[in-house]
Amino acid sequence: MTISAEREVIVEVRNLKKHFEMSNGFLKKTKTTVRAVDGLNFKVYEGETLGIVGESGCGKSTTGQLLLGLMEATEGEIYFRSTDLASMNKEALRKARKDLQVIFQDPYSSLNPRMTVGELIGEPLVVHGIMRGKALRERVIELMQLVGLREHQYDRFPHEFSGGQRQRIGIARALALNPKVIVCDEAVSALDVSIQAQILNLLNRLQKELDLTYVFIAHGLPAVRHISDRIGVMYLGKMVELAGRDELFNNPLHPYSHALLDAVPIPDPKFRKEHELIEGEIPSPSNPPSGCRFHPRCPYATAKCREEEPEYREVLPDHFIACHHPLLDEDTSIVPATH
Amino acid sequence: MGEELLKVDGLKVRFKTDDGYITTVNGVSFSVKKGETLAIVGESGSGKSVTSLALMGILPPNGEVVDGDVTYKDKDLRTLSKKDYRKIRGNDISMIFQEPMTALNPVFTIGFQLREPLMLHEGLSKKEAQARGVEMLRNVGISDAEKVMGRFPHQLSGGMRQRVMIAMALSCNPELLIADEPTTALDVTIQAQILTLLRNLKESSNTSIMIITHDLGVVAELADRVIVMYAGEVVEVATVHELFESPQHPYTKGLLDSMPKIHDVVNELYSIEGTVPNPAEMPQGCKFHPRCPFGDEECVQTHPNLLNVKGDHAARCIKLAKKELVV
Amino acid sequence: MAQITESVPRSSNKPKSAIGALFRRLLRSRTGMLGLVIVVLVTLIAIFAPLLAAHDPAKTDIMNRLVPPFWLDGGNMSYPLGTDNLGRDVLSRIIYGSRVSLLVGISAVLLAGAIGIVMGLLAGYYGKAWDFIIMRLVDSFLAIPSILFMLIILAVMGPSLMTLILVLGGTSWVVYARMVRSETLSVKERDYVRSAKAIGALDFRIIVKYILPNVISSFIVIATLNVASTIIMEASLSFLGLGIQSPDVSWGLMLSDGREYIATSWWVATFPGLAITITVLGVIFFGDWLRDVLDPKIKD
């Protein structure tokens, strides 16, 4: 698989960092720096879905917000095509946002409860002064039909809809400006299984029809595997591994990815097994471990891991990893053979 | 196995709302046998959580059990006095919740909360209680138990809090543990730790577990038997292997097919049309018929009963009786 | 127990007219209904005062001074609630007095609300220097006893209806500013505001279309309840001689006039006092009900 050779890079992130200053303490103020995102490098190719997975505190949501320009980066560059979003002024960024849109996790809190469906979906077009009046209404209805909503729902309010339908409203809104890239921030995580399937299928269909690029951020691995072409695994603000979907699942090289994939319960009692549990809790990003951040929980950790931070590098074609002791030799497949 | 510990028969729960009464659990019957793990699975609005709250007698003030029997061993829980109910809840049945933060008192240390019931109910001295508390935390996989005893709930991570909750729930050696979405709020690697803990617990102490979840992965990992609920009713009962191998109800089948599989990638997921019906506007006849690929006029007219398929495997679908459904 | 509250139905989401639903809820709440009836009644009385009052409220009639209410010896139906020390009809004065009470109560709250909402939105949305400056201003307003502040302003500008409104409004905006600021801080973090930023909406649009509509219901509740306290404040200032001046009428002024005669002619002070109590109670009942209905924390 050589995805990189064929496709054009649409988004590129170089040495991206986001640090939050937090002051706490009552009598004695202490300042701590939370390194939510700490030096990310990756590319997103046109037309692909890049999945980003990780557990709480890994910085995947912050990454999404940085990509969207909803937060200012502490350091680093985000290129959309060839322009650096991080260095843009406010007005230029506002215009650039037309090409970068977002679908949020919680369909209950991501829609303004005081606006009707028609207003919600048409809002991006109004904000950018693209359409109004009859043309606007027609475009909104077209978008509604595209995501499976009915015309008669135009004047309803979001609270009259179920979670899945609300997520459709959010998707239609994201599509209104004909964006190139959509960041799906836990877009299906809050939905019931049967509804999640509907939305995943819808996202897949829209990607084909509209030539979209997705950055799919989620903690639910089955959904990520279903929708992604390539998947990046984050741990404590760092990308620890990034590879093609099947490559990652069949041949995870980083001990953390391996443990993460192994921990996912397989919905088939035939494959019931003992998990290779990783010890301990996820450390706080305000005080990350030295060297490799995974070393306190890693079964393969050595003195080198404690002292030296591993370099993020391409160990196999299109397979990136940051680890001193990648699981290259043994059989690392965690996925049972397809029956 | 075999002896029925908890038996629920025809449970019906309704809630008072601004728009009148809404029935969210409608004639649910099942039993939990000694030493088994029973999973109740369903999506939001299926009534699975309300069922567990009703069993524990902790429905919110606007909810009430209007019909049905709940028997624990030989005691009828519905006619029990509040005091006796509390005794059972404290000694025989324990419950853990999705978000342990709400069940732990934020102003007391973990140690205090663990020691208190031991000193009260079992008459232990503070020192003995402390030792027991540390031991209990060790049993649920907390290695630095002494340190955790001195912490407040908000100083612990989600996974750690859930362990503490489980330790507290197990402190009285319950015969039945009701776990309502115990891992939903946790990260996957922590979820794996908790699931392993629950599995070991079942093996080591023969505790019956009733787990309420929406996650079929968790069901497959943990359960012996499964109850599938939809719109306030049980639509299918089977052993875990039967259920995953040959689901009988179209809803169960749809649910299984709509899950993205981590080991088997398909281009398009199967998806059940439509959404879970609003309890105020329940469809006539079979409650699943508006979303069912096999639904027809008969399904609109007739409300199906639970039909035995084979052995203990039953499903609520009229097509099964007529052998029209080949699943 | 997030999971539990989620799975327990509170009210169905059946689409229906919002006004109709509000009215049905109102019918179910007895105190809310009582409050509404009182508020509407007082408003009607204020509007139609010239038609309802039998006498000119300012017309003195020394021949008929301190006439008791009609049910007491010496009373008559010409002065149903009696007359005061200058022979003015108490009932007619109460009827005209409602105008001042409502006018001052509502205008002062609207003035305070307008200042408070703008300040609160600016401080909450932009934060940083805006927040610092506005909140220090609020703090200093809170630090000065408001009654002292009022007295100084009134002394400088001289008592009149306009000054009264300016003073009452100008001292109470801080309450709204603080409330709107804290609501704004929480609404600002909601995903729908992020979503508005993501589509490239300008700050002004975000504030007006996304934040304001979602903080306004809390404002309405507090503002309604504050109408009640402003009515009392007006009465107190007028009682002290710093508010409405004769020949204008206000309930507070009537209380003040009747104070000397409370032992011999109790009705002069008692009836305006009752009028204040009933009106304030009505507004509070109505406000409490509004809070139950509008509070987004209680209902979606």
Of B226, B238, B220, nearest to B320 (Cα)?
B238
Distances (CA, A) of B201 to B141, B254, C184: 11, 32, 48
Q: Look at residue C2 in the predicted model and tell me its pLDDT.
A: 33
Interface with chain B: mutation pick from A149, A192, A249, highest number of B CBs within 10 Å: A192
B183 shares contact with chain C (CB less than 8 Å): no
Buried b (16+ CB within 10 A) or exposed e, C90-108: bbbbbbbbbbbbbbbbbbb
Distance CA(B41)–CA(B226), nearest Å, equals: 7
Closest C-alpha to A66, from C194, C125, C190: C194
User: Smallest Cα–Cα separation from B157: which of A233, A55, A220?
Assistant: A55
- Strand runs labelled E in chain B: 4-17, 20-33, 37-41, 63-72, 75-76, 93-96, 176-180, 208-213, 225-230, 233-239, 307-310, 313-315
Residue C205 inside a domain? The answer is yes
Give Rg (Cα) of chain C.
23
pLDDT number for residue C6 = 37
Residue C8 predicted with pLDDT over 50 = no
User: What pLDDT sits at residue B241?
Assistant: 93
Q: Which helix (H) or strand (E) holds A181?
A: strand A181-185
Average pLDDT on A204-216 reads 94
B:C CB pairs within 8 Å: 55
Positive or negative CA dihedral for A145, A150, A151, A154? negative
> How many angstroms from the chain centroid is the CA of residue C145?
20
Chain mean pLDDT for chain C = 84
Residue C251 maps to a domain: no
Compare CB distances from A104 to C191, C200, C205 and report the shortest one's residue. Answer: C191
**C8 to chain B: which residues are within 8 Å by CB?**
15, 24, 50, 60, 62-63
pLDDT in tens, B96-142: 887 766 778 888 999 998 888 888 777 889 999 899 899 888 878 78
Q: Measured on CA atoms in the order C229, C230, C235, C236, is the torsion positive or negative?
A: positive
Domain count across chain C:
1
Check whether C221 has a pLDDT greater than 90: no
Report chain C residues touching chain A, CB-CB < 8 A: 13, 15, 190-192, 194-202, 205, 209-210, 213-214, 300
* Domains in chain A, CATH or no CATH each: 3-315 (3.40.50.300)
Per-residue pLDDT at A293 exceeds 70:
yes
Look at residue C132 and give its three-state secondary structure. helix
Answer whether B181 touches C (CB < 8 Å).
yes
* CA C13 to mean position of chain CA atoms: 33
- CATH code: domain of residue C232: 1.10.3720.10
Class of residue A298 by CB neighbours under 10 A (exposed 0-12, middle 13-18, buried 19+): buried
Rounded to an integer, what is the distance from CA A181 to the centroid of its chain? 12
Decide if B224 touches A, using CB distance below 8 A: no
HEC states along C197-259?
HHCCCCHHHHHHHHHHHHHHHHHHHHHHHHHHHHHHHHHHHHHCCCCCCCCCCCHHHHHHHHH
Percent of chain C scored above 90 by pLDDT? 29
Rounded distance, CA B259 to CA B217, Å? 9
Quote ipTM for the complex.
0.84
Q: Give the gap in angstroms from C-alpha C13 to the nearest C-alpha of chain A.
A: 6
C17 pLDDT band (50/70/90 cuts)?
low
pLDDT at B18: 72
**Which residues of B are less than 8 Å from C7 in CB distance?**
44-45, 48-50
Task: Tell me if the bond preceding C247 is cis, omega within 30° of 0.
Answer: yes
| Sign of the four-CA dihedral A117, A119, A123, A126 | positive
As separate numbers, helices (DSSP H) first and strands (DSSP E) second, chain B gives 12, 12
* Dihedral, CA of residue B181, residue B183, residue B186 and residue B188, to nearest 10: -130
| pLDDT single digits (tens) B301-311 | 989 988 888 88
Could you tell me if residue C159 is inside a domain? yes
- Separation CA C151–CA C177 (nearest Å): 23
* Substitution target from C3, C188, C199 for chain A, most A beta carbons within 10 A: C199
Name subunits touching C (3+ CB pairs < 8 A): A, B
Residue type, B200: N
The nearest alpha carbon in chain C to A159 belongs to C13
H or E element in which residue A210 lies: helix A193-210
Of A98, A102, A128, the CB nearest to C195: A102
Owner of token pair 């595209």: A146
pLDDT of residue A287: 83
Please check the confidence at residue A279 and state whether its pLDDT lies above 80.
no
Of B260-264, C217-221, C288-292, give the lowest mean pLDDT range.
Answer: B260-264
The structure tokens listed for B193 are 């730790």
Q: What is the pLDDT of residues A167-187, one digit of tens each?
A: 999 999 999 999 999 999 988
Helices (H), chain C: 2-7, 18-28, 30-47, 49-52, 90-126, 128-143, 146-157, 161-188, 191-198, 203-205, 212-239, 251-258, 267-294
Q: Which residues of chain A are within 8 Å of residue C215 when distances are taken between CB atoms?
A: none
Vertex B163 angle, CA B159 and B168, to 5°: 145
Q: How high is the pLDDT of residue C173?
A: 92
Query: Could you tell me which of B178, A265, A284, B48 has the C-alpha nearest to residue B165?
Result: B178
Residue C132 one-letter amino acid = F
- Residue matched to tokens 């001289």: C158
User: Using a CB-CB distance cutoff of 8 angstroms, which residues of chain C are in contact with residue B162?
Assistant: none
- Chain C residues within 8 A of A65 when measuring between CB atoms: 194
CB atoms within 10 A of CB B16: 14
Are C13 and A159 a contacting pair at CB < 8 A? yes
Choose the closest CB to A282 out of B43, B187, B265.
B187
pLDDT at C9: 42
Over the stretch A104-118, which tens digit does the pLDDT of each residue have? 888 778 899 889 999
Task: Give the tens place of pLDDT for each residue, A306-315.
Answer: 999 999 999 9
Give the pLDDT score at C176: 93
Are C253 and C238 in contact by the 8 Å Cβ rule? The answer is: yes
**DSSP assignment string, B183-196:** TTTS-HHHHHHHHH
Q: Are strands B176-180 and B208-213 parallel, antiparallel or unpaired?
A: parallel
Q: Contact, B146 vs B154, CB < 8 A? A: no
Please enumerate in sequence order all residues whose Cβ is within 8 A of that of A265, keeping only pairs 6 or more positions apart, or say none: B191, B192, B195, B215, B217, B218, B220, B221
Beta strands at B20-33 and B4-17: parallel, antiparallel or unpaired: antiparallel
| Shortest CA gap A95–chain B (Å) | 35
Residue C13 is predicted with a pLDDT of: 41
pLDDT 10s digits, A130-162 = 888 899 999 999 999 999 999 999 999 888 888
CA distance B202 to B35: 7
Per-residue pLDDT reduced to its tens digit, B169-225: 888 788 899 999 888 878 888 888 888 888 888 888 888 999 999 999 999 999 999
Return all residues near A111 (Cβ < 8 A) that are at least 6 apart. A120, A158, A166, A169, A170, C192, C195
Comparing alpha-carbon positions, the chain B residue that sits nearest to A265 is B217
Q: Give residue B37's pLDDT.
A: 94
More confident of the two residues C62 and B41: B41
Q: What pLDDT does C5 receive?
A: 34
Least Cα distance to C273 among C253, C298, C248 occurs for C253
In terms of Cβ atoms closer than 10 Å to its own Cβ (0-12, 13-18, 19+), residue B2 is exposed
Half-sphere exposure of C272 (CA within 13 A, CB side): 33
Distances in Å between the alpha carbon of A18 and those of A59, A287, B86, B93?
9, 15, 50, 47
Among candidate residues A194, A151, A148, the one with its CA nearest the CA of residue A170: A148
Range with top average pLDDT, B18-32, B94-108, C149-163, C175-189: C175-189
Residues B195, A260: C-beta atoms closer than 8 Å: no
Does some domain include residue C286? Answer: yes
Closest to C159 in 3D by CA, of C247, C61, C243: C243
Residue among A165, A194, A259 whose CB faces B258 most closely: A194
Cα A5 from Cα A28, distance rounded (Å): 55
The 10 Å Cβ neighbour count of residue C240 is: 16
Residue A230 host element (H or E): strand A230-235
**Which other chains touch chain A, taking contact as 3+ CB pairs less than 8 Å apart?**
B, C
In a domain, C298, yes or no: yes
Contact yes or no for A103/A170 (Cβ under 8 A): yes
Contacts of C198 in chain A (CB under 8 A): 68, 70, 97, 100-102
Per-residue model confidence (pLDDT) at position A117: 93
Instruction: Quote the CA–CA distance of A300 and A259 in Å, as a whole number.
Output: 12
| Interacting residues of B176 by C-beta distance below 8 A, sequence separation 6+ | B5, B6, B32, B72, B92, B93, B94, B207, B208, B209, B210
pLDDT digits (tens, 9 = 90+) for B142-168: 878 888 899 998 888 877 888 888 888
Does residue C233 sit within a domain? yes
pLDDT given at position A6: 67
C7 and B50 in contact by Cβ < 8 A?
Answer: yes
Number of H helices, E strands in chain A: 11, 12
Q: Binning pLDDT at 50, 70 and 90, where does residue B17 land?
A: confident
Q: Residue C10: closest CA among chain B residues belongs to which residue? A: B17
**Å between A88 CA and nearest CA of chain C:** 14
- The whole-chain average pLDDT of chain B stands at 86
Q: Measured on CA atoms in the order C139, C144, C146, C149, is the torsion positive or negative?
A: negative
Max mean pLDDT among A25-34, A247-256, C148-157 falls in A247-256
Instruction: Label residue C18 by pLDDT band (50, 70, 90).
Output: low
Domains and CATH numbers, chain B: 4-92+174-321 (3.40.50.300), 101-173 (no CATH)
Residues 246-265 of B with CB under 8 A from A: 254-256, 258-265
Describe the crossing of helices C251-258 and C212-239 by its angle, rounded to 10 degrees. Answer: 20
Structural domain contains residue C90: no
C66 CA: distance to closest CA in chain A (Å): 57
Test B62 with C10 for CB contact under 8 angstroms: yes
Mean pLDDT, residues A233-247: 94
Residue C132 lies in a domain: yes
What SS3 class is residue B9?
Answer: strand
A188: distance to nearest CA of chain B, Å?
Answer: 12
Angle between helices C90-126 and C30-47 (to 10 degrees): 110
Cβ neighbours of residue A129 closer than 8 Å, sequence gap 6 or more? none
pLDDT given at position A329: 61
Higher-scoring residue by pLDDT: B74, A202:
A202
